[in-house]
Amino acid sequence: MYADTIHLQGTTVTRNAASGQVLHTYSTDTEPGGRLRIACGNRRASRCPSCAWTYAGDTYHLIRAGLVGDPDKGTPHTIRDHPRVFATLTAPSFGPVHNRPGNQPCRCGVRHGEDAPELGTPLDPASYEYAGAVLWNNHASELWRYFTIYLRREIARRAGLTQKDAREQSRVSFGKVAEYQKRGAVHFHAVIRFDGPGGPDDPPPAWATLDLLTEAIRAAAARVEVDVPPARYQPDPDQPARVEPARTLRWGTQLDVQPIGAFGHGEEITEAAVASYVAKYATKAAETTGTVDRRIGNKDALVLLGVPDHPARLIAACLDLHALYPDRKLRDWAHMLGFRGHFSTKSRRYSTTLGALRQVRADYRAAQQREALGLPELDDNPEATTLTLAHWSYAGHGHTPGESWLAANIRRDLQHNREAAREALAGLANSEAEGEW
């Protein structure tokens, strides 16, 4: 069951479009409580695990189709022969934080555990550049946009072609997801693929190699700069003005570019691993850092909501900077630590779209319903065409205490079944690898 189900009230009447005969009627008067409950459609796992599970599945199939190929989703199986990499672009440092540097102790002298709450928090909060961190998050989408522009230019330069000739001979496609690091900075994971000029159906030219793509990505990331102008705010002439200096935002130095292996024969990054990773983080947001998943109106709410110190300082920085940069809407996106972009995006020809996947599911359910109701199948016969007249009104959302208990138990059972299925598949794969099958 859904965690934040939507309640509707209303009726539907299905008629034969040609004769006007009533074929089916429905009213929420027959439902428990006189309401129809439908999925909320929220992608966030913190809001609705059920809808987030569906969204993650759609994202998985979208990314996978751009890696292994799926003719039903707009990509041929020959896509596996195209050069493609998994790139991670990160934010720069805004001050030293507690971390786990390999087998070495943290700079604070402590060997932190994997789940230590201080991981990602500043060693010295007083000197940490909170304003720079939230402004970087706020401009992360522009940094990505410039990266894609420079990437095409660097590809052309390394191929010895003009940008026009490079576009006529090749295409760069990508699918990416945003993820929050423990320190609250956004970073991007992206599948980047070389195609021919027509997209995934065209093989890339001979010069479009994996090495060229990797070098172009590194060079493009190093070129990106986004300038933030200085700002001054002084609402009270008797008080000192708040001044922020000009900044030039760049990507961090921890750029990782890994080739994606087709079949997992010793490769560190495989197609299945990439698709699963992107799908996992497509349903998460800033709440993974300790903040909340809804807007925060003022600093007093931080105490009431129990937000930990580090994300609370980042949120407070957003609220303080809003008056200096009102066009950046930092107050509206304070709960996201300044980030205001889409979490999951793709280029036009990477593969299918989330909308197309949802439509396939909707068509399948509609066909099931028509069969269950005994309605005529849709075809070219005008007499089989039906017309549905509907009237719906919003009647609330959420569960009653009893429904919440039932939903929690259903969710627990579903999670248990999924984990059992994964373990069974993993055991089968290991047995096959050992030659037992």
Give domain status of residue 122, yes or no. Answer: no
State how far the alpha carbon of 219 is from the alpha carbons of 157, 161, 276, in Å: 11, 17, 28
What does the pLDDT average to over 137-156? 97
pLDDT tens-place string over residues 305-337: 889 999 999 999 999 999 999 999 999 999 999
Please tell me the total count of domains within the chain. Answer: 3
Same domain, 183 and 82: yes
390 and 406 in a single domain? The answer is no
Query: For residue 140, is it within any domain?
Result: yes
**38, 139: one domain:** no
pLDDT tens for each residue of 94-144: 999 999 887 788 989 888 888 888 889 999 999 999 999 999 999 999 999
Give the model's confidence band at 226: pLDDT under 50 very low, under 70 low, under 90 confident, else very high: very high
| Confidence (pLDDT) at 264 | 54
- Please report where in the chains the tokens 């940094």 appear, as a residue: 143
Residue 436's pLDDT is what? 42
Domain membership flag for residue 60? no
Range among 152-166, 252-266, 398-412 rated most confident: 152-166
Instruction: Answer with the one of 350, 385, 410 that is the final residue of a domain.
Output: 350
Domain match, 406 and 383 both: no
Three-state SS letters, the chain = CCCCCEEEEEEEEEEECCCCCEEEEEEHHHCHHHCEEECCCCCCCCCCHHHHHHHHHHHHHHHHHHHHCEHHHCECHHHHHCCEEEEEECCCCCCCECCCCCCCCCCCCCCCCCCCCCCCCECCCCCCCHHHHHHHHHCHHHHHHHHHHHHHHHHHHHHCCCHHHHHHHCEEEEEEEEEECCCCCEEEEEEEEEEECCECCCCCCCCCCHHHHHHHHHHHHHHCCEEECCEEECCCCCCCCEEECCEEECCCCCCEEEECECCCCCCCCEHHHHHHHHHHHCCCCHHHHCCCCCCCCCCHHHHHCCCCHHHHHHHHHHHHHCCCCHHHCCCCCHHHCCCCCCCEEECCCCCCCHHHHHHHHHHHHHHHHHHHHCCCCCCCCHHHCEEEEEEEEEEEECCCHHHHHHHHHHHHHHHHHHHHHHHHHHHHHHHHHCCCC
Give yes or no for residue 371 having a pLDDT over 50: yes
Residue 410 lies inside a defined structural domain of this protein: yes
What is the predicted pLDDT for the residue at 203? 94
At residue 43 the predicted structure's pLDDT band, cuts being 50, 70 and 90, is confident
Structural domain range at position 376: 1-53+353-398
Co-location of 302 and 394 in the same domain:
no
Does 233 lie in the same domain as 199? Answer: yes
pLDDT value for 267: 61
337 and 225 in one domain? yes
- Give a yes or no: residue 59 inside a domain: no
Looking at the structure, tell me whether residues 366 and 230 fall in a common domain.
no
Average pLDDT, the chain: 88
**Residue 31 placed within a domain:** yes
CA 410 to chain centre: 26
pLDDT in tens, 156-195: 999 999 999 999 999 999 999 999 999 999 999 999 999 9
pTM of the model: 0.84
What b/e string do you get for 183-219 counting C-beta neighbours within 10 Å, with b at 16 or more? bbbbbbbbbbbbbbeebbebbbbeebeeebbbebbeb
Place 434 in a pLDDT band, splitting at 50, 70 and 90: very low
One domain for residues 92 and 203: yes
* Residues 314 and 241 placed together within one structural domain of the fold: yes
- Is residue 124 included in any domain, yes or no? no
User: Residue 185 and residue 339: Cα distance in Å, rounded?
Assistant: 9
The confidence score (pLDDT) of residue 326 equals 94
pLDDT at 381: 61
Work out the average pLDDT over 39-51.
Answer: 83
Q: What is the pLDDT of residue 265?
A: 54
Predicted local distance difference test score (pLDDT) of residue 437: 34
Same domain, 166 and 268: yes
Residue 304 lies in a domain: yes
Residues 341 and 242 in one domain: yes
pLDDT at residue 4, rounded to an integer: 74
Mean pLDDT of 408-434: 69
Task: Give mean pLDDT, residues 359-363.
Answer: 90
